[in-house]
């Protein structure tokens, strides 16, 4: 599984960073998502993907 994030879609809600803080964080300037580990897996990652309000996170 490879995770990708679309920063253009990101609404800076921070849900992903709360759900999986070792995989996602937020840019200090604009609050948009920053992906820390594109190969991460597990229930936290699933929660982050399904919890994103703008569907900005995908896994392939």
* Residue ranges in contact with ligand SF4 by CB under 6 A: 5, 10-16, 24, 26, 33, 52-54, 56-57
Q: How far apart are CA 26 and CA 33, in angstroms?
A: 5
Query: E strands within the chain?
Result: 3-5, 24-26, 33-35, 57-59
Our CB check for ligand SF4 shows the closer of 27 and 41 to be 27
Residue among 15 and 45 whose Cβ is closer to ligand SF4: 15
| CB closer to ligand SF4, 8 vs 39 | 8
Classified as helix, coil or strand, 45 is helix
């Amino acid at each position: 599984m490879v995770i990708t994030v679309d920063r253009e879609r990101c609404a800076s809600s921070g849900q992903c960073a709360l759900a999986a803080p070792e995989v996602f964080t937020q840019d200090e300037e604009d609050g948009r998502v920053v992906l820390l580990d594109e190969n991460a897996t597990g229930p936290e990652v699933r929660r982050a993907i399904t919890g994103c309000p703008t569907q900005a996170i995908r896994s392939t």
